[in-house]
Structure 1
Amino acid sequence: MNILFHHRTRGRGAEGVHIRGVVKGLKQLNNHVYILSLPGAEPETEEANATFEKVVQAPTKKSSFSILSDLTKHVPEFVFEIFELAFNLIALIRLRKAVKEKNITLIYERYSLFMFSSVWWAKRQNLPIVLEINDSCQVQRVRALSFKKLAAKIEAWTFKNATGLVFISTRFKQVAEQAYGEIANSVVSPNAADLDKFVIDESSGCALRSKLGIENKIVLGYVGAFVHWHGIDWFVDLVCHRLKQTPELVLLLVGDGVAFEGIKNKVIEAGVESQVILPGKVPHQQVSSYLSAMDLGILPDSNDYGSPMKLFEFMAMGKGMIAPDFSPIAEVVRDNVTSWLFPAGDKQACIDKVFNIVNDRKAHKAVGSNARAYIESERQWQHNAAQLLSLVSLDISRDVNLNG
């Protein structure tokens, strides 16, 4: 099939990883895939450019889309939503052109709020369109909506008229069904990991441990943004009080963000600098070395509908994670088998779980091995691609039955 992956995101971070992963999975199933991104937001080039993050480049002229994107960061929410509505016209023009030029037989779109023109046009053209649902006006969002009723009406129509929907968790699907009743055929497809990118490298992990002076320590790791909704700030605040009682435990927390300075100050205040290593954000190509140096991972917090990318990446590296038992996590994790779960929202239970299993090196190895095997057998991007394509097969079969 000739498939067009359409999205309106910046294509960075977890968004970019997800887009590249699904595209790779579709290609592995012998499809031709084209990405339609906003100019200046090409996720397929971000990964290649990541190697050169620290290279100083000459300033380049920004595209009109980049300027508009920067502008929307500073406008009131209602203005931003008007921009989103207006984008339907731009998307329609670009979609029509891409579909014609590439002879597209399926559109796969990362759903965005207020976006309806793609589904409307595809339906008129009798062209299948599958939506990947990572956002909704029915879930808690960082930016509160000004036109929530309008967003809900558009979303209800879109979810009903698409060929199929791909939800990242069962909970997310339930939220949509409770809000809108009848929706299109759907599948639940949590995140996945690319095993070609997450290769366990024990030699580089050992070298890094030696460099950091933690050769014989138990290393509990975190890789990601230091933001409040991930809970990394309260986790460090609570765990620091008990670290000195467990000198064999070291925290290796990789990344930066708004909570970084507060965490750093807390570590200094508690006098545990030797047990909490904060390297900051590291170059993309070094992330696997840091993951290889860890024994297990920590995910202090999440939400009740999302599918945390870092969970799958740690598991792909043969590292179990201590994670909250929100339903999207519990449906992909077997407690004490592929990772360890604690009651979501119970901060003390999280800390207790860490110290209960910290010295069980045998369990670290066994759970990590099981986690890697699970990713290999069920949660590579090719599995996700097969799920989304099944929606197109279901639609074709339904049409045949109706016409027969």
Structure 2
Amino acid sequence: MKVLYHHRTQGKRVEGVHIRGVANALRELGCEVRVVSFPGADPEREPVAATTGEGKGRLATLVSRLPGVLFEFAELGYNLVTWWRIRAEIRRNRPDFIYERYSLFLFMTIWIARSEGIPIILEINDSAVVQRLRPLWLKSLARRIEAWCMTHATGIVFISTYFRNLLADHYGRLPPSVVSPNAVDARFDPTRCDRDALRRAQGLEGRVVCGHMGVFARWHGVPGFVESIIDRLDEAPGLTLLIVGDGEDLPAVRREVEARGLGDRIRLPGRVPHHEIPQWVACMDYAFLPDSNEYGSPMKLFELMAMGVAVVAPDYDPVAEVIESGRTGWLFPRKDVRACVDQVLALCGREDERERVGAAARAYIERERRWRNNAQQLLSLLPGAQGATA
């Protein structure tokens, strides 16, 4: 089966992980996959070096610097680029179906697919009806275009049930759909890591290590968590925090940790290449996710759980859809930083519980959340296939 996978992202960081995961899983199932990316992007070439800032192509850099409404007009204009590129791909090697990572204002792929009689499946990670980091100036137009796309696709892949219900409320009856949260590849397997050797290399022997991976930004909650726990570390003398990642708030957090003389208790190695993440997770006994959002599916959640590291996480619907509190992780009331800190400190002394819940988390991922599961779900949306829900 020939698949044309189209996206309008830079394919960096989590986006690239997701694109590679789905594309490679489809190939493992016997599909021939051609990925068409934003000019200059190459999500299938995984970055091998850790940097504090991702390099962008010249075109992407210029577009990203445009002020609000001009940026959105540029997104609209990208439909002309899509028209030329998708039609060329179809003439060169007509696909059996098109799979597109949906982007705001992008409607041309669906228009072409319908005119050519080719099934098209949309993967929804963003929407004009949710709160976004970048303000949406042409919101009314974006929603009209989105409504047309949502109701004219062959099928839709949502990252959470909350997201599916939200868009159904806004746009009415949708095409057949599946809920397909994020997943992980085979590298996230604790049997592939020498945990003791990795912990020795980081000077973590004999410690209880609670970890986190992600961006240091206020909306992810890491700075607030560190601010809240920093005065309470004496309550858990054996606890060390291992926080992997970078971002605009990392320097301030690092200065505070160093000023308090806690560099050994709160480790901040910065950003590491994605292929090294399993080695860092292998050093952790459990993990924390301070904050998320109402509709997203945090990639880090699945990567941690796959390594047998259970997570203290906020009770947003998409997270609760993955974590059964007390069995595959621990949920706390969203936005309640103190509750998150309380749980992290309490678990420091509960080795048996950490191991039991971590093992159950890993079993869940192995059973349901490898990329192969996602590929099988999206294939079920094709005409004549079974398993999709309306």
TM-score bracket for this pair, using the shorter chain length: over 0.9
The 2-side partners of 1:285 and 1:92 are apart by: 35
Is 2:315 the counterpart of 1:325? yes
The residue aligned with 1:51 is 48
Is 2:133 the counterpart of 1:142? yes
The 2-side partners of 1:156 and 1:120 are apart by: 13
The residue aligned with 1:401 is none
3-state SS of 1:173 partner: helix
The residue aligned with 2:41 is 41
The 1-side partners of 2:91 and 2:305 are apart by: 41
The 2-side partners of 1:397 and 1:234 are apart by: 42
TM-score scaled by structure 2?
Answer: 0.94
Q: 1:333 to 1:13 in 2, by over 3 A?
A: same
3-state SS of 2:3 partner: strand
Q: In 2, are the aligned partners of 1:244 and 1:272 still within 8 Å (CA)?
A: no
The residue aligned with 2:383 is 393
3-state SS of 1:241 partner: coil
Q: In 2, are the aligned partners of 1:202 and 1:293 still within 8 Å (CA)?
A: no
Ranges in structure 2 where 5+ consecutive residues have no aligned partner: none
Is 2:148 the counterpart of 1:157? yes
Give the deviation of 1:346 after TM superposition.
1.2
Q: In 2, are the aligned partners of 1:247 and 1:275 still within 8 Å (CA)?
A: no
Q: 1:293 to 1:396 in 2, by over 3 A?
A: closer
Q: Which moved more, 1:267-276 or 1:143-152?
A: 267-276
- Which residue, out of 175, 186, 203, partners 1:184? 175
**Which AA in structure 2 matches 1:138?**
V
The 2-side partners of 1:309 and 1:396 are apart by: 27
The residue aligned with 1:112 is 103
The 2-side partners of 1:33 and 1:79 are apart by: 34
The residue aligned with 1:24 is 24
TM-score scaled by structure 1?
Answer: 0.91
The 2-side partners of 1:6 and 1:187 are apart by: 19
The residue aligned with 1:231 is 221
**Which AA in structure 2 matches 1:27?**
R
Q: 1:354 to 1:91 in 2, by over 3 A?
A: same
**Which AA in structure 2 matches 1:370?**
A
- Which residue, out of 187, 208, 231, partners 1:218? 208
The 2-side partners of 1:128 and 1:212 are apart by: 50
Q: Counterparts of 1:192-341 in structure 2 under 5 Å?
A: 192-194=183-185, 196-200=186-190, 204-341=194-331
Give the deviation of 1:30 after TM superposition.
1.2
Q: 1:85 to 1:203 in 2, by over 3 A?
A: closer
Is 2:362 the counterpart of 1:372? yes
The 2-side partners of 1:203 and 1:26 are apart by: 27
**Which AA in structure 2 matches 1:254?**
V
- Which residue, out of 94, 99, 121, partners 1:103? 94
Q: 1:394 to 1:172 in 2, by over 3 A?
A: farther
The 2-side partners of 1:283 and 1:179 are apart by: 39
Q: In 1, are the aligned partners of 2:235 and 2:345 still within 8 Å (CA)?
A: no
The 2-side partners of 1:108 and 1:36 are apart by: 10
Deviations 1:171-226 (A, max 9, x none): 111111111112222111111111x2213257643233223322001000111211
The 2-side partners of 1:393 and 1:336 are apart by: 40
The 2-side partners of 1:212 and 1:87 are apart by: 47
Deviations 1:55-88 (A, max 9, x none): xxxxxxx9xx932211122211111111111111
The 1-side partners of 2:314 and 2:63 are apart by: 34
3-state SS of 2:128 partner: coil
The 2-side partners of 1:201 and 1:251 are apart by: 23
Q: Counterparts of 1:68-83 in structure 2 under 5 Å?
A: 68-83=59-74
Aligned length: 385
**Which AA in structure 1 matches 2:306?**
A
The percentage of counterpart residues that share the same residue type is: 45
The runs of at least 4 aligned residues of structure 1 exceeding 6 Å deviation read 395-398
Q: In 1, are the aligned partners of 2:210 and 2:284 still within 8 Å (CA)?
A: yes
The 1-side partners of 2:96 and 2:223 are apart by: 47
Is 2:355 the counterpart of 1:362? no
Is 2:93 the counterpart of 1:94? no
**Which AA in structure 1 matches 2:80?**
L
Q: In 1, are the aligned partners of 2:50 and 2:271 still within 8 Å (CA)?
A: no
Q: In 2, are the aligned partners of 1:26 and 1:382 still within 8 Å (CA)?
A: yes
Q: 1:344 to 1:16 in 2, by over 3 A?
A: same
Give the deviation of 1:394 after TM superposition.
5.2
The 2-side partners of 1:24 and 1:368 are apart by: 27
Give the root-mean-square deviation of aligned CA atoms. 1.9
3-state SS of 2:349 partner: coil
Q: In 1, are the aligned partners of 2:96 and 2:118 still within 8 Å (CA)?
A: yes
**Which AA in structure 2 matches 1:354?**
V
